[in-house]
Chain A
């Protein structure tokens, strides 16, 4: 007797939970050959609002952890991802239609990328911070601080692309609301399951699936979002519209990056773009 398929319901990942969209909507996700793969939740502006609330609530605790501790947590994500690599390889093959060898390359690169960024957690301060020479009896020290809640439009690469934009933000202490690739959202939610089981506090990463054009403007204009990363925005007009909306509360903006080779080793820019510099003057000899 044949067994009935147990089909997976892909939902959102907000505040450590996996809720359905508040709007009750979903959309069809096809595989590379145009056949039905699954239904994904179609997030609304209210889901985006809830995600920002969750990210804001998580920010104090996450940014207050020691850099060493954040490194351990991100390394843990890599460990858990390694343990579920077959699932991710199968998902990549199904959704993008890539060869088994290629799928393995992407999963390897995603795991390596997490480990690479985990190593940066307790080093970035030394590299971009400074002891400044000043003309007076003061120690003058600059150190980087996380900006706060960052909204991200993830690029097309459903696993490697997503990891490459999220890891550099959380490793420095920011919390993130990420809109997954509209065409390939399923791997992002499976990655959410990995994050939910790897000591990452709920709300540090929140994953929305759905229409970028619908959700992103609400995040860009949201007064409680401190930065927006437009890496995955493909529509140039939308990118301009989002930048204009982001200007209201002077969000830090990262412009779209079409044609990025995600397999290449990244530079520090993804981490430093969403850091603020805190400078302290401390009197000497008092």
Chain B
């Protein structure tokens, strides 16, 4: 604990509320395992129930525009090229070239080596550049490499860093290691915002999702994010519900707001609207803002645009009229 004491002090959670909790591995474990258990059946039923709300006409138009503004337009493939990232960045600034009233997305999300390219295209458009760092997606690398990865991305101009936690350490109960890792990466981020990816598909239980959420928030995460998109299942409604409850409870306790980002597997406007309903019903309208809720997605944007076009033209649109990426 001692080597990183200084970086701990610089995190957002330096108000001292959790000083006792993070003093030792055992106190941290006591706190995390003392969190109330998740009622699995109740949680899934609640998530499914919220998914049945009917959102139509003007409310739907509002929801679709809001969802577009919340999209982190993502490309995280080994085959990414500079050209593809430039195309994606152009799309993020102007998702529907035929309709100037269509809002821009929140950010583009790329690997660190593509940050400079994305930044160059986006300029001062207001669309952020998010970079996945810390040996994404597995998180299996030495600490100094993860930190160097993060610093590289920030120096290249990344506004947001998406880090992955060490799931192996988390699942074997070494919570303090995970905590310290997040704190150090947060420190390496400087002014960039930090999103912490749990890879909920690997955390096995809902209880673990709740624990990981609190752990990351105590360590100073600006955002907590479900998945890398590389593991199935990725984002689901129940998992996101647990994370939303965690950020709500965290604000009640500390007064600080933390954002939530479900990522992976959200492909249709209908899905996206279900998430927005859940955000509003769980956390309230404060979170209905791109600063506090994001979608990590690539194909979702096209479906949102097709639905938007359907609402403005009154006829069904088709994938031929939108770019593939």
Contact = CB atoms under 8 A, between A and B. Distances in A.
Interface of A: 49, 52, 56, 218, 221-225, 245, 248-249
Contacts of A224: 316-320
A245 B319 CA distance: 19
Nearest to B316: A222
Contacts of A223: 315-318, 320-321
Nearest to A45: B316
Given A221-B314, A223-B321, A224-B320, 15 more contacts: A52-B316, A56-B319, A218-B315, A221-B315, A221-B316, A222-B315, A222-B316, A223-B315, A223-B317, A223-B318, A224-B316, A224-B317, A225-B318, A245-B315, A249-B318
Interface string B285-325: 00000000000000000000000000000111111110000
Nearest to B315: A221
A49 B316 CA distance: 8
24 contacts: A49-B316, A52-B316, A56-B318, A56-B319, A218-B315, A221-B314, A221-B315, A221-B316, A222-B315, A222-B316, A222-B318, A223-B315, A223-B316, A223-B317, A223-B318, A223-B321, A224-B316, A224-B318, A224-B319, A224-B320, A225-B318, A245-B315, A248-B315, A249-B318
Nearest to A245: B315
Contacts, number: 27
A189 B71 CA distance: 42
Range class of the B interface residue count: under 10
Contacts of B314: 221
Contacts of A218: 315-316
Contacts of B319: 56, 224
A55 B315 CA distance: 18
Most chain B CB neighbours (cut-off 10 Å) among A56, A221, A224: A224
Contacts of B321: 223
A224 B309 CA distance: 13
Contacts of A248: 315
Contacts of A222: 315-316, 318
A237 B172 CA distance: 71
A150 to B, nearest CB: 14
Contacts of B320: 223-224
Nearest to B317: A223
B18 to A, nearest CB: 49
A95 B321 CA distance: 43
Contacts of A49: 316
- Of all A-B residue pairs in the complex, the 8 with the closest CB atoms, nearest first, are A224-B318, A221-B315, A223-B318, A222-B316, A223-B317, A49-B316, A223-B321, A223-B316
Contacts of A225: 318
A174 to B, nearest CB: 16
A222 B315 CA distance: 6
A107 to B, nearest CB: 36
A56 B315 CA distance: 17
Most chain A CB neighbours (cut-off 10 Å) among B315, B316, B319, B320: B316
Nearest to A248: B315
A223 B309 CA distance: 11
Contacts of A52: 316
A213 B295 CA distance: 39
Contacts of A56: 318-319
A13 to B, nearest CB: 20
Interface in B191-236: none
A218 B314 CA distance: 9
Nearest to B309: A223
A56 B317 CA distance: 13
A221 B315 CA distance: 6
Nearest to A223: B318
Nearest to A222: B316
Contacts of A245: 315
A221 B310 CA distance: 11
Contacts of B316: 49, 52, 218, 221-224
B269 to A, nearest CB: 12
Nearest to A48: B316
Contacts of B315: 218, 221-223, 245, 248
